Amino acid sequence: MTTEFAYRYAIYFIPPLHSEWSSAGCHWLGRCAATGQQLKQPQIPGVDAHQFRLLTQDPRRYGWHATLKAPFELQTDASVASLLLRLQDLAQELPAFDLPRLQVSTEGGFLALRPATDVSALQTTAAACVTRLHDFAKPLSPADLERRRQSPLTPKQDQLLMQWGYPWVLDEYHFHFSLTGPLNTVSEAEKQSLKHAAQAHFDALPLVRFTQLALFAEPAKGADFQWLQSVELRG
């Protein structure tokens, strides 16, 4: 699949398509970003199905993924083909590795899967994607800067925002798979039900090997993100 002249592009980690992890994540969110297919979500005891659909609305639009380089607009003198070539070159410099064990967390006010152990390989890989692909990204517009600053930022995060177009990169980066949007409207009992359901949904899955970088596109502003292509890491 190719999507020229999309509104934005992003570099994600995704488990191999059609793997147990890919299926589990896509069904949790209710959509497959590779096929565009809407999927039946699990039933969460104590949480209304419509409410669960709303809680997963934000991550569903972005697709089942962990962000490496956040969505960006492509420079006017760049092309998707040149971005993909650079991504392939970068992937050949980065070694594959086993993803640390993931655990369900409500850190940051939303439900997510986060690494429970050593994240050094993840930090190195994400930093390479941010810094080595940055020349493909347009500078943020004043409106984009204002939107990013709606979340409280530390001076360090604001500096990273200005330099790299996103505040949660490099030392501020935290690898995660989003399972919901904000939980501020959810009761404590519902929050615990969601957490227990996520643990049951994902805990029995095998360990994941980090072997690919994935290129995603947002075809038009506000549209669902689509998987375009994955490139293999070295080794």
The answer on pLDDT for 165 being more than 80 is: yes
Average pLDDT over residues 178-188: 96
Mean pLDDT of the chain: 95
pLDDT tens for 80-101 read 999 999 999 999 999 999 999 9
How many whole angstroms separate alpha carbon 175 and alpha carbon 212? Answer: 15
Is 212 inside a domain boundary? yes
Determine the pLDDT at residue 5.
Answer: 82
Is 14 inside a domain boundary? yes
Percent of the chain whose predicted confidence (pLDDT) is above 90 = 91
Is 226 inside a domain boundary? yes
Is 169 inside a domain boundary? yes
CB-based contacts of 173, cutoff 8 Å, min separation 6: 123, 126, 127, 130
Is 1 inside a domain boundary? no
Are 230 and 212 in contact by the 8 Å Cβ rule? The answer is yes
The answer on pLDDT for 124 being more than 60 is: yes
Q: Could you give the 3-state DSSP secondary structure of residue 214?
A: strand
Is 3 inside a domain boundary? no
Domains held by the chain: number: 1
Is 83 inside a domain boundary? yes
How many whole angstroms separate alpha carbon 233 and alpha carbon 95? Answer: 6
Tokens found for residue 141: 């517009």
Determine the pLDDT at residue 3.
Answer: 61
pLDDT tens for 8-64 read 999 999 999 989 999 999 999 999 999 999 999 999 999 999 999 999 999 999 999
Q: Is 33 exposed, middle or buried (0-12, 13-18, 19+ CB in 10 A)?
A: buried
Give CA separation, 199 vs 19, 24, 111, 177, 233, in Å: 18, 12, 11, 13, 29
Q: How confident is the model at residue 1 (pLDDT cuts 50, 70, 90)?
A: very low
Using the structure block, give the residue that is written with the tokens 């488990």.
Answer: 15
Using the structure block, give the residue that is written with the tokens 């990204």.
Answer: 137
Amino acid identity, position 233 = L
Phi and psi angles of residue 36, each rounded to the nearest 5 degrees, phi first: 80, 0
Are 11 and 41 in contact by the 8 Å Cβ rule? The answer is no
**Segments forming the whole domain that contains residue 66:** 8-232
Is 2 inside a domain boundary? no
Amino acid identity, position 103 = Q
Q: Could you give the 3-state DSSP secondary structure of residue 226?
A: strand
How many whole angstroms separate alpha carbon 194 and alpha carbon 106? Answer: 10
Task: Give the domain CATH number at 223.
Answer: 3.90.1140.10
The answer on pLDDT for 170 being more than 50 is: yes
Three-state SS sequence of 75-124:
CCCCCHHHHHHHHHHHHCCCECEECCCEEEECHHHEEEEEECCCCHHHHH
Q: How confident is the model at residue 235 (pLDDT cuts 50, 70, 90)?
A: confident
